[in-house]
Amino acid sequence: MFTTALAVCLLATPAMTRANQPPVRARVFRAPDCGCCGAWVAHLQNHGFLVDLVITDDMQVVKDRHAVPTPLRSCHTALIDGYVIEGHVPAADIRTLLDRRPKAEGLAVPGMPIGSPGMEMGEQRDPYDVILWTGSDTQVFSSHRG
């Protein structure tokens, strides 16, 4: 059962972004003990997203409810303007997704690659792909090579 350890709270960010466009709201689900999730939320906020944060003890229920394919799962899940964003997806890729509006379920960065937003560890950078998915079909949306 989906349990919320903390009520949804609004985290403040700038009121306007990119050429005076209104900010995009992101609803982010994360476990209470995940530090990298908080760093990814800060990354979104630094890029003009308004974040509604939901702390839950049962992330698997969230992922199942939003049909995140098992191979694409990571630590946190966000809902942004009709898309599911799974894991450490860079804000720039989310903006590109929202600009292009492809028919898809969402974007994912499987696992927790070092150097992705929220997983910064000095100068170390692992290469990783951002995956676009629709149902069981996937394709590389963007590649980050460190």
pTM of the full predicted structure?
Answer: 0.85
The confidence band for 2, taking pLDDT boundaries of 50, 70 and 90, is very low
Residues 135, 111: Cα–Cα separation, whole Å:
19
Instruction: State the angle between helix axes of 35-46 and 91-100 in degrees (0 to 180), rounded to the nearest 10.
Output: 60
Percent of the chain past pLDDT 90, that is, above it, reads 77
Residues 146, 127: Cα–Cα separation, whole Å:
5
Encode burial over 109-127: b for 16+ CB neighbours within 10 A, e otherwise: bbbbbebbbbbeeeeebee
Of the given ranges (17-31, 36-50, 102-116, 123-137), which has the lowest mean pLDDT? Answer: 17-31
pLDDT for residue 141 is more than 60: yes
Q: Which two tokens stand for residue 98?
A: 């929202």
Architecture of domain 4-144: 3-Layer(aba) Sandwich (3.40)
The pLDDT, as a whole number, for residue 39 is: 93
> What is the longest distance spanned by two Cα atoms in the chain?
42
Report pLDDT digits (tens) over 10-46.
Answer: 333 343 345 566 789 999 999 998 888 899 999 999 9
